[in-house]
Structure 1
C-alpha cells in the first residue's frame, strides 16, 4: 500500500483553516479544528515529484482532469493556502525563475488571441453589459458590477483631467467601453489598439452602428508600432501581457506616444510583496506569456522612461469583488459553458476565477492605477486630488 505520510505532511502544513481530505483509498482525514471550509477528494495518486517541482501546475491540472474534487468554496480554500505561513503550496515557497517566453509581435498576437478570441459570446455570458474584462471600481458597496465598471472607466478618464477635443489612446482597448465613453461623454478623439481579432471586429461594428467614425478609431496593431502623438494614454490590464523583458520598453513607448505635459493612466495587476512573477498553471492554460510585475519594478521602469508619477491608487479589494461577481455569473451559466466547451474547460475557468479572487483577498497580488505625466509632474493638473472626485461626482461616480 502506498505510504501517504508525505501527502499528509504537505496537507497539514498547507492550510490555516480546517479542511477534510478523502484519499484515493477511502481514508478520511480532518485537518484543523472547527467546521471545515471545504473537502478535498483525491481520486488518484498524484506523483510527489510533480508536486515538488510544479505544485500549482500539478494541482491545477489534477483539478481540471477530475483527479481532485473540491467540495466547498475554492476561493476560501486557496486563500487559506496564501495565508498559511508554513504552507508548502504557497507561491512564495515554490516560486520558480521566470521562464523565458517570446514576446515578439507575432508571438504576442498569438498569446492575446488564445485568450481573448475564445469568442465574444463566451465573455458575454458572464461579463456585464459593458463587456469590460478588468477590475471594476465600487464607489459604493451596493454598486452593481455594471455600475462599478462605468465607475472605473469614468474614474480613469477623470484622473486625466482631459479637455474636449484632445486626443486619447487606449492600449489594449478590449471591447471599447473606455474609448466610446471618452468620445461620447468627454468629447475626446479616442483611439483604441488591440491584438484581438474578435475585439477589433466588435468595436469596428459598434463604431459604424453609432456613427462615430470621426471620433473613435480602432487598430488591430501592436502598441510598439504606433507612431502618432496623443494628449493622453490609457492602458487597462495590459502590462501583464508584455513580458518582464519588455516592461521598460512598454513605459518608454508610452512616453514616446505622449505630447509634452501629456498624461497617462496605467491600470494593472501588481505584486506588493511576493506576489509578482509567473504562475506556471495560469501561464500554461490562461495567459501564455503573462508576467505580473511588483510595484517596485513598475516604478523603476516609469522613472527610467522619464515619466513622472502623479498618483498611485491600489484597488485590491475592488478586484476581489469583481472576480467574486464574475464567478457567480460564471456558475449561473455553467450548463451552457459545459455544453459548448466541455467539462474540463469549465473547471479550468472556474479554478482560474476563484484562485485569482483568493490571490487578491489574501493580498498576494494587487491592482494599481498609476497616473503619470510626461514632463514636470502635474504641470497641467490641479494642485490636489479634489478635481478627480469632483469630476467623479459630475459623471455619476458616487
Structure 2
C-alpha cells in the first residue's frame, strides 16, 4: 500500500517539493532559509546525531528519493543502503546514486525493513514510522494518504526502543518547522495547479491540497 502512495509520478511531487525531493519536515535554522536550505539542514541535523565516520555503512529505512543518503555520502564519506517500497523512488535513487563521483557503495533496495538482515553501522529513518503498523489516525489520513499505516505515539516509540535495548537520549520538537514546511508545500502546489492536474488529475490535486493544508492545522 505504501508503494502506491509514492508511485504518483515524480513529476507531480517535484511541483511542490524542493530540489532535494525531501518529503519530510524541514528544519528552519534561520527565518530567511529557503525550503531547500531547510531540508538540507534537516538532513544535517539527523546525520549529525549518528557519529558517522568514513567507511561506515548507513542504512536509511524509508529512504524516499535518497536525499539523506546522498548528503551522508557527500559529507561523511560513508557507504549507504536505502530501503523503499516505491518503484518510482527506487529508480530515481539508483539514477542519482549512479551519477555520484565517489568510491563508496550506494545501493537502494525495493523492500521493507523487516526483510533486511545485513549488518550496518548506523540506521536513520526520517518520517517513515507512519507506514509501519496499526494506530488510528483521522479517517482521511488512513483511507486517502497512508492506507493501512500508523503514526505511533511518542510513548510507543520509547517503549519499543527500550524493548530493543536502545536508549532515547534526546527529544527535539519540530512542530513549528513542520507547519512551515507544509505551508510552503501547499503554496508551491497551488502555484502549479494547472501543471499538477495535467500530470495527474484534479482529484489527485485536490486530495494533496486537502492533505497538506489539513496537516498544517494539526501543528
TM-score band, normalised by shorter chain = over 0.9
1:140-155 correspondence to structure 2 within 5 Å: 140-155=30-45
Q: Is 2:16 the counterpart of 1:157?
A: no
* Counterparts of 2:93 and 2:132, CA distance in 1: 22
SS of residue in 1 equivalent to 2:49: helix
Structure with bigger helix share is: 2
2:87 maps to what in 1?
Answer: 197
SS of residue in 2 equivalent to 1:307: coil
How many angstroms does 1:210 deviate by? 2.2
Q: In 1, are the aligned partners of 2:12 and 2:199 still within 8 Å (CA)?
A: no
1:132 maps to what in 2?
Answer: 22
How many angstroms does 1:205 deviate by? 1.2
1:305 maps to what in 2?
Answer: 164
* Counterparts of 1:223 and 1:165, CA distance in 2: 22
SS of residue in 1 equivalent to 2:81: strand
Q: In 1, are the aligned partners of 2:61 and 2:123 still within 8 Å (CA)?
A: yes
* Counterparts of 1:342 and 1:320, CA distance in 2: 26
2:203 maps to what in 1?
Answer: 344
* Counterparts of 1:341 and 1:168, CA distance in 2: 35
* Counterparts of 1:343 and 1:180, CA distance in 2: 33
How many angstroms does 1:277 deviate by? 2.9
- When the two structures are superposed, what TM-score results if normalisation uses the length of structure 2? 0.95
Residue ranges of structure 1 left out of the alignment (5+ in a row): 1-110, 245-275, 361-398
**Larger RCO (CA under 8 A, 6+ residues apart):** 2
SS of residue in 1 equivalent to 2:216: helix
- Structure 1: which 4+ aligned runs deviate by more than 6 Å? none
Work out which of the residue numbers 265, 282, 290 in structure 1 matches 2:141.
Answer: 282
- Encode CA deviations 1:12-58: one digit per residue, 9 max, x unaligned: xxxxxxxxxxxxxxxxxxxxxxxxxxxxxxxxxxxxxxxxxxxxxxx
* Counterparts of 1:161 and 1:213, CA distance in 2: 21
Q: Is 2:76 the counterpart of 1:186?
A: yes
1:329 maps to what in 2?
Answer: 188
How many angstroms does 1:211 deviate by? 4.3
Once superposed, what is the RMSD of the aligned Cα atoms? 1.4
How many angstroms does 1:338 deviate by? 2.1
* Counterparts of 1:185 and 1:240, CA distance in 2: 28
SS of residue in 2 equivalent to 1:312: coil
* Counterparts of 1:344 and 1:167, CA distance in 2: 41
1:228 maps to what in 2?
Answer: 118
1:23-172 correspondence to structure 2 within 5 Å: 111-172=1-62
Greater Rg by CA: 1
How many angstroms does 1:342 deviate by? 2.6
Paired residues, what number?
Answer: 219
SS of residue in 1 equivalent to 2:169: strand
SS of residue in 2 equivalent to 1:237: coil
* Counterparts of 1:333 and 1:141, CA distance in 2: 24
How many angstroms does 1:344 deviate by? 2.3
SS of residue in 2 equivalent to 1:309: coil
